[in-house]
Amino acid sequence: MGIGMNLFQQARHGQQQEQTFLDTTAGILYGGHLLTLNSASENTFVLNTFNANSWLGAYQTSKASEPGGYWAWITGEAFSYSNWRSGEPNNSGGGEDVAEMYNSTYSGQWNDLGATNGRSYIIEYGIIISVPEPATFAMAALILVAVALGKRNR
């Protein structure tokens, strides 16, 4: 997580109630991680449940192919589903390397943005359930805990 870790470190400032991308990783201490989304139904569920502009646990592992290249989930899950808003990601200003999910104003679509912005965040606690038949695959059951925080201080 080279660049990702750098992003986390860049974001290590500010005491907003809404949190920077780095600050949200505190959730990991409690066994969770920043929200990852793997399907349209999951995206819709989160939108309908929380309806907030919220960090996603998404970041770029390299800036070699801006704006759309090298997006990854902090969990290491395959980045197989995405829901970018039209025209996003756009790497606006050259420094948008993490992502947020919009609220219902933009239908829960995604935007890339800088890591030092303040956003609400959602910590996801995944429970791995082993499904023995017919194939052995793991299914993530999601328990989502909203941490919907107040207005930005500025």
Q: Give the binding site for Ca ion (CB under 5 A).
A: 88, 90-92, 96-97, 111-112
Shortest Å, Cβ 146 to Ca ion: 24
Least distance from C-beta 112 to Ca ion, angstroms? 4
**Cβ-based nearer residue to Ca ion, 94 or 127:** 94
CB of 94 to Ca ion, least distance (A): 8
Positive or negative torsion for Cα 76, 122, 83, 68:
negative
Q: How far is the CB of 135 from Ca ion (least distance, A)?
A: 36
**Cβ of 52: how many Cβ atoms within 10 Å?**
22
Instruction: Give me the residues paired with residue 58 across strands.
Output: 73
Which helix (H) or strand (E) segment holds residue 5: the answer is helix 2-10
Please say which residue, 38 or 61, places its beta carbon nearer to Ca ion. 61
Q: Which is nearer to Ca ion, 87 or 150 (CB)?
A: 87
Residue type at position 38: N
Q: Does residue 123 contact residue 114 with C-beta atoms inside 8 Å?
A: no
C-beta closer to Ca ion: residue 75 or 92: 92
- Cis before residue 132, ω within 30 degrees of 0? no
Residue nearest to Ca ion (CB): 91
Alpha-carbon distances of 99 from 53, 92, 118, 130, rounded to whole Å = 10, 12, 12, 30
